[in-house]
């Protein structure tokens, strides 16, 4: 009886899609999440939600952000935006069958930048496909390739470590928070279309003292890991990044070598507010991005670290800038701030205010100009 009811429910979902004139087909799964039927064979690289002009029109409702992105002196406004690939189709692995497959519900989460590349992490909303990292050319914004990860981690944070040429990625091992690393050398050599296998991790380190590794950043020789909590204040842990040897005499990258190369405890713990999705440092500033779903604007909070070094909650913020909903990670690269939103993903694109399918870049001083 239960199977008959389920089949009838799915049939009604398909009929409903046809009656509303939907362009893409979708199946309503038992948990209410949608994975559309895909006809593509590779990751899409074009914008998923409209033209550059339509994005400008929508962002005019956020004057501080609009001015910083589109009115930077001497810069073509389009150079301050990067199309997020894969929001319609992403080539990856089916998690259960371990075969190449197209995912239509990839949801961007983490962002990192180095001298040559932009890295954007994404997870499959239906949890049917392996998580990925998109690699873009930093100068042109063109899509280079996807990095397919092992399993379905939420990949809420990325951070590039220039001192060791490593990409740090948040993950989890069962109920334990974890960070993994990918060497730049391995990233550049990796070709999923050739191997059809996940990339091999350089190192993986458990973080038992934090509930979840939601987002990260690298500042100097330190890795900062923060935990997202949607109900109360949370924490930001600091770990010293070092290079050591494991039991086999191999060089590995460790955090807090007082325990082991496979597990770390923090050197410092700071308090942060609730609903924090990203963190970034710039000179004396600590910036925290906050997002709390479709019904609320996001907020970019700025703190003066010279005045406050333990409690980075709202009452100590020096600046608050209202942003569109579904803001995720923020990244500092030189004088620029890069901002990622998840509202371009299929599960969220009808709910953003507006929905944004591009990474936005801006001069930090212009954003915080009074």
Question: Looking at residues 79-87, what average pLDDT do you find?
Answer: 98
Q: Are residues 10 and 110 in the same domain?
A: no
Q: Are residues 1 and 77 in the same domain?
A: no
pLDDT band at residue 258 using 50, 70 and 90 as cut-offs = low
Q: Is position 14 within any domain?
A: yes
Query: How many structural domains is the chain composed of?
Result: 2
Question: Looking at residues 48-69, what average pLDDT do you find?
Answer: 95
Q: Are residues 176 and 105 in the same domain?
A: yes
Half-sphere exposure of 264 (CA within 13 A, CB side): 29
Q: Are residues 190 and 104 in the same domain?
A: yes
Which CATH number does the domain housing residue 242 bear? 2.120.10
pLDDT band at residue 366 using 50, 70 and 90 as cut-offs = very high
Question: Which pTM was predicted?
Answer: 0.90
Q: Are residues 126 and 108 in the same domain?
A: yes
Q: Are residues 73 and 106 in the same domain?
A: yes
Domain coverage including residue 4? 1-32
pLDDT at 36: 86
Q: Are residues 265 and 210 in the same domain?
A: yes
Q: Is position 229 within any domain?
A: yes
pLDDT at 3 over 60: no
Average pLDDT for the chain? 89
Q: Which residue has the higher pLDDT, 120 or 257?
A: 120
pLDDT at 311 over 80: yes
Q: Are residues 15 and 124 in the same domain?
A: no
Question: Looking at residues 6-20, what average pLDDT do you find?
Answer: 33
pLDDT at 266 over 70: yes
Q: Is position 324 within any domain?
A: yes
Q: Are residues 198 and 65 in the same domain?
A: yes
Q: Which residue has the higher pLDDT, 160 or 370?
A: 160
Q: At what angle do helices 63-70 and 52-59 cross, to 10 degrees?
A: 140
Question: Looking at residues 195-217, what average pLDDT do you find?
Answer: 95
Q: Are residues 162 and 13 in the same domain?
A: no
Q: Are residues 13 and 160 in the same domain?
A: no
Q: Is position 104 within any domain?
A: yes
Question: Looking at residues 51-67, what average pLDDT do you find?
Answer: 95
What is the percentage of the chain residues whose pLDDT exceeds 70? 89
Question: Looking at residues 7-20, what average pLDDT do you find?
Answer: 33
Q: Is position 37 within any domain?
A: no
């Amino acid at each position: 009886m239960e199977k008959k009811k389920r089949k009838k429910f799915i049939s009604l979902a398909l009929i409903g899609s046809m009656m509303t004139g939907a362009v893409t087909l979708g199946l309503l799964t038992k948990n209410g999440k949608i994975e559309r039927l895909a006809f593509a064979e590779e990751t899409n690289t074009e914008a998923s939600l409209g033209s550059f002009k339509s994005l400008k029109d929508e962002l005019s409702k956020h004057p501080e952000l609009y001015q910083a992105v589109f009115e930077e002196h001497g810069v073509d406004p389009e150079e301050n935006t990067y199309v997020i690939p894969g929001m319609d189709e992403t080539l990856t692995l089916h998690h259960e069958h371990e075969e190449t497959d197209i995912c239509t519900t990839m949801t961007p989460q983490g962002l990192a930048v180095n001298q040559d590349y932009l890295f954007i992490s994404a997870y499959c909303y239906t949890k049917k496909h392996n998580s990925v990292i998109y690699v873009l050319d930093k100068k042109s914004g063109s899509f280079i390739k996807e990095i397919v990860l092992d399993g379905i981690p939420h990949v809420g944070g990325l951070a590039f470590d220039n001192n060791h040429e490593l990409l740090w990625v948040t993950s989890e091992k069962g109920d334990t928070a974890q960070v993994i690393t990918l060497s730049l050398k391995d990233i550049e050599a990796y070709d999923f279309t050739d191997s059809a296998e996940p990339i091999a991790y350089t190192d993986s380190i458990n973080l038992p003292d934090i509930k979840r590794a939601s987002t990260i950043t690298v500042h100097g020789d330190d890795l900062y890991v923060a935990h997202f909590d949607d109900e109360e204040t949370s924490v930001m842990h600091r770990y010293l990044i070092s290079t050591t040897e494991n039991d086999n005499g191999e060089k590995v990258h460790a955090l807090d070598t007082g325990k082991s190369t496979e597990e770390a405890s923090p050197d410092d713990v700071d308090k942060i507010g609730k609903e924090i999705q990203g963190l970034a440092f710039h000179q004396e500033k600590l910036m925290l991005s906050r997002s709390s779903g479709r019904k609320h604007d996001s907020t970019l909070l700025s703190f003066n670290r010279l005045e406050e070094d333990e409690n980075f909650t709202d009452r100590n913020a020096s600046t608050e800038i209202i942003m569109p909903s579904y803001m995720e990670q923020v990244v500092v690269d030189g004088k620029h701030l890069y901002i990622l939103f998840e509202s371009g993903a299929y599960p969220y694109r009808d709910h953003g205010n507006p929905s944004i399918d591009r990474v936005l870049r801006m001069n930090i001083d212009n954003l915080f100009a009074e």
